[in-house]
């Protein structure tokens, strides 16, 4: 008997469709949450699901606060007058602030505490010191704002005149303006801060009522229980969003073609979600539309397909560890494992509900330009030429096999809220999540 799944897997080695899909996606202008390009991206994903043979492929709209970048200006005003290129950070309000520049280093809480930022403009790096806990951009901003800063400047640690972007909050306009500048500009600003210089920061941005879209479809048997597979289809408006997360959503669309040929033990709901970059809004809406008690697990494809080797975030699930090891052994393909829980991607709304989570990412070549930290992501350099289409095809195969393995498990132990909170505390996330305003209110 001909095994359709094996034929489909073999065909994926030379399938041109993943590259064609990524090309169409990255040709769209502005996939920022709530903008027309994001809606078209959702339609492309739904069309990809339908082409794969999935059932009920469609888009679903939801309301959100749509942020438009507008323009931003930054100038040192004393002791010299000098302007620098800058971009507003998502959910920054419009504003015009003047004040002394204060270098807060990496933006660690103790660094901000050691400096008087009240009424001043805090300057922080995008990176985190080796050996310390991870400090997210939202924590750096939130802590500086709580300490009384009037403005926030986020400077890249990657060379190339690349001002970084990234949301300051999860879905709501902030109280003070925030902007991104390049590594090269950051070097000047920290120097000027040491000289006691002052600067003026002007942001002309706008937050208005808007609409975003998810794309959803189903595969496998029509069982009551299901496994959910998600990847975000939105990106930041300053680049093509090829790596983040064009690769991830392409992997999901390509994996859907393989899953449609596989025997699945449980229904698989596949979704391309909007507004991840500005607050995980699409995945929050998706969770609210489902009965969490019927969701056995979520597989979040954020970061897969970018680089050569897959990395799996287990989020505290021993079952997911076994799933990853099983597929890695059977395929003779390396899948590196990452311990611990983190809240900064689309698995988080599911994990808060106790749903076991697996996130598929990929391992960077740390000798490559822009490899440290986020690398080219969230900058103008996140373009299609950075992608190797072999990674898209191979990670689609691995993702499909991992999803099939998850769907075959009779029981995947759920996570108690206390266990998730304890894991986050153990890995020093609580302080930062509280500073960023994303620690769940119901958790003490």
What is the DSSP track for 399-425?
A: HHHHHHHHHH-S--PPPPHHHHHHHHH
266-291 pLDDT per residue, tens: 999 999 999 999 999 999 999 999 99
Residue 438 within a domain: no
343-372 pLDDT per residue, tens: 999 999 999 999 999 999 998 765 454 444
- Structural domains in the chain (count): 2
Direct distance between the N- and C-terminal alpha carbons of the chain, in angstroms, rounded to an integer: 57
Q: Which of 319, 235, 231 is nearest to 269 (CA)?
A: 231
63-92 pLDDT per residue, tens: 999 999 999 999 999 999 999 999 999 999
- Same domain (yes/no): 162, 248: no
Residue 441 within a domain: no
197-249 pLDDT per residue, tens: 999 999 999 999 999 999 999 999 999 999 999 999 999 999 999 999 999 99
- Same domain (yes/no): 368, 288: yes
- Same domain (yes/no): 223, 352: yes
Asked which of 207, 226, 258 is the last residue of a domain, the reply is 207
Contact (Cβ atoms closer than 8 angstroms) between residue 219 and residue 270: yes
Pairing of strands 55-78, 82-84: antiparallel
Contact (Cβ atoms closer than 8 angstroms) between residue 85 and residue 182: yes
Q: Which of 433, 369, 311, 378 is nearest to 126 (CA)?
A: 378
Asked which of 207, 235, 253 is the last residue of a domain, the reply is 207
- Same domain (yes/no): 165, 253: no
- CATH number, residue 21: 3.40.630.10
Q: Give the pair of three-digit tokens for residue 140.
A: 């750096």
Question: What is residue 132's predicted lDDT score, i.e. its pLDDT?
Answer: 84
Asked which of 174, 207, 240 is the last residue of a domain, the reply is 207
4-18 pLDDT per residue, tens: 999 999 999 999 999
Q: Does residue 53 surpass a pLDDT of 50?
A: yes
Contact (Cβ atoms closer than 8 angstroms) between residue 243 and residue 378: no
- Same domain (yes/no): 226, 364: yes
The proportion of the chain whose per-residue pLDDT surpasses 70, expressed as a percent, equals: 97
- Same domain (yes/no): 90, 216: no
- Same domain (yes/no): 284, 320: yes
Residue 442 within a domain: no
Instruction: Please state the pTM of the whole predicted model.
Output: 0.96
- Same domain (yes/no): 40, 80: no
What is the DSSP track for 26-84?
A: HHSS---TTSHHHHHHHHHHHHHHHHHT-EEEEEEEEEEEEEEEEEEEEEEEESS-EEE
Rounded to a whole number of angstroms, the CA Rg of the chain reads: 22
Q: Does residue 444 surpass a pLDDT of 80?
A: no
Contact (Cβ atoms closer than 8 angstroms) between residue 38 and residue 213: yes
- Same domain (yes/no): 126, 162: yes
Q: Which domain holds residue 105?
A: 69-207
- CATH number, residue 80: 3.50.30.30
Measured at the alpha carbon of residue 341, what is the angle toward residues 419 and 152, in degrees to the nearest 5? 120
């Amino acid at each position: 008997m001909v095994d359709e799944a094996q034929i489909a897997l073999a065909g994926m080695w030379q399938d041109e469709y993943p590259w064609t899909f990524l090309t169409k996606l990255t040709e769209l202008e502005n996939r920022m949450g709530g903008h027309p390009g994001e809606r078209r991206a959702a339609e492309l994903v739904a069309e990809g699901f339908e082409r794969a043979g999935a059932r009920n492929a469609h888009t679903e709209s939801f309301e959100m606060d749509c942020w438009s970048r507008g323009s931003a200006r930054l100038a040192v005003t004393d002791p010299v007058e000098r302007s620098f290129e800058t971009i507003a950070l998502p959910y920054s309000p419009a504003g015009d602030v003047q004040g002394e520049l204060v270098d807060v280093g990496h933006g660690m809480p103790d660094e901000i505490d050691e400096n008087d930022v009240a009424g001043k403009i805090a300057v922080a790096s995008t990176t985190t010191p080796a050996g310390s806990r991870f400090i997210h951009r939202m924590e750096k901003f939130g802590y500086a704002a709580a300490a009384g800063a009037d403005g926030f400047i986020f400077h890249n640690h990657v060379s190339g005149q690349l001002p970084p972007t990234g949301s300051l909050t999860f879905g709501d306009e902030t109280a003070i303006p925030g902007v991104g500048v390049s590594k090269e500009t950051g070097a000047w600003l920290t120097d000027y801060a040491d000289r006691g210089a002052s600067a003026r920061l002007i942001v002309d941005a706008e937050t208005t009522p808007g609409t975003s879209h998810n794309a959803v479809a189903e595969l496998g048997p029509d069982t009551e229980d299901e496994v959910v597979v998600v990847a975000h289809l939105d990106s930041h408006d300053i680049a093509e969003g090829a790596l983040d997360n064009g690769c991830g959503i392409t992997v999901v669309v390509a994996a859907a073609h393989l899953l449609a040929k596989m025997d699945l033990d449980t229904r698989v709901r596949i979704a391309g979600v909007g507004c991840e970059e500005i607050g995980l809004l699409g995945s929050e809406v998706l969770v609210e539309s489902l009965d969490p008690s019927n969701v056995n697990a979520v597989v979040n494809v954020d970061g897969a397909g970018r680089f050569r080797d897959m990395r799996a975030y287990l989020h505290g699930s021993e079952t997911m560890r076994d799933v990853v090891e099983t597929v890695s052994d059977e395929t003779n393909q390396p899948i590196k494992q990452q311990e611990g829980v983190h809240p900064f991607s689309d698995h988080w709304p599911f994990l808060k509900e106790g749903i076991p989570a697996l996130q598929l990412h990929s391992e960077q070549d740390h000798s490559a330009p822009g490899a440290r930290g986020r690398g080219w992501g969230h900058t103008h350099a996140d373009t299609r030429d950075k992608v190797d289409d072999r990674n898209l095809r191979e990670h689609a195969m691995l993702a499909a096999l991992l999803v099939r393995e998850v769907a075959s498990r009779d029981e995947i132990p759920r996570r108690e809220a206390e266990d998730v909170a304890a894991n986050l505390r153990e890995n020093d996330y609580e302080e930062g999540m509280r500073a960023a305003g994303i620690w769940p209110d119901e958790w003490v």
